[in-house]
Amino acid sequence: MSKLIYPYQNTINERFDFIDKWLPTRYTGSVNIILKKSRDPDYIRKVKNRKVNDEDVIDALYKVSLFNKIQVEN
C-alpha cells in the first residue's frame, strides 16, 4: 500500500469538495472582503480550479462556502 506524500492531502481534498459543492457563483468579492489584503480575482479562481496551495485563500473560500451553505439551508 502506498503512503501519501502529503499527510494532510485527504483533509485538503475534503475542503475542496465542500468548496466545490457550496461556493456561490459570484465569490471573488466575498473572498476579498474576508482576506486582509485584496487578491486578483483571476488568482482566486486559479486557487479554486487548480487547487493551488494558498492557505489564506483556501480558508476564505471555505468561509464563503460555509456562509452560503448556512443561508441556503435556512
* Rounded distance between C-alpha atoms, residue 61 and residue 43, angstroms: 12
Which residues span the domain enclosing 63? 9-73
The answer to whether residue 15 is domain-embedded is yes
How confident is the model over 15-69, as pLDDT tens digits?
899 999 999 999 999 999 999 889 999 999 999 999 888 889 999 999 999 999 9
Local confidence band at 7 (pLDDT 50, 70, 90 cut-offs): low
Question: What angle do helix axes 41-50 and 55-73 make, rounded to 10 degrees?
Answer: 80
What is the model's pTM? 0.83
Overall number of domains in the chain: 1
The answer to whether residue 61 is domain-embedded is yes
The answer to whether residue 3 is domain-embedded is no
pLDDT at 53: 85
Tell me which amino acid residue 41 is: P
The answer to whether residue 4 is domain-embedded is no
